[in-house]
Structure 1
Amino acid sequence: WDSPSNAQRYFVKLCTEKEFPKVVENFRQIIDISDRLSFTVSRTCSG
């Protein structure tokens, strides 16, 4: 969703407990390369 208070866009992945480790790994890969891309990745995650 697009934030109503700033120009940021957020993406949410709903997952099962079984899927959670893979989702975390995917986000780690994105975070690792995000400094070379034109966007930032929020590091907030709840499980």
Structure 2
Amino acid sequence: MPGSTKTALVLGLGIGGTIALALLGAFAALVRAVARAENEEDTGRQEGLRR
């Protein structure tokens, strides 16, 4: 494999990995936000039941 092809491959994988990590982080943040929202709803529901 010529050096330039190897460099392009490494750069491509590096950029691809960075994008994948960014997407994964965004997805995790979204899941956490949804879970937090559901948690708050449950708390409100429980307080309503207590009254």
Question: TM (normalized to structure 1)?
Answer: 0.38
Bigger Cα Rg: 2
Question: TM (normalized to structure 2)?
Answer: 0.36
Higher relative contact order (CA 8 A, sep 6+): 1
Larger helix proportion of the pair: 2
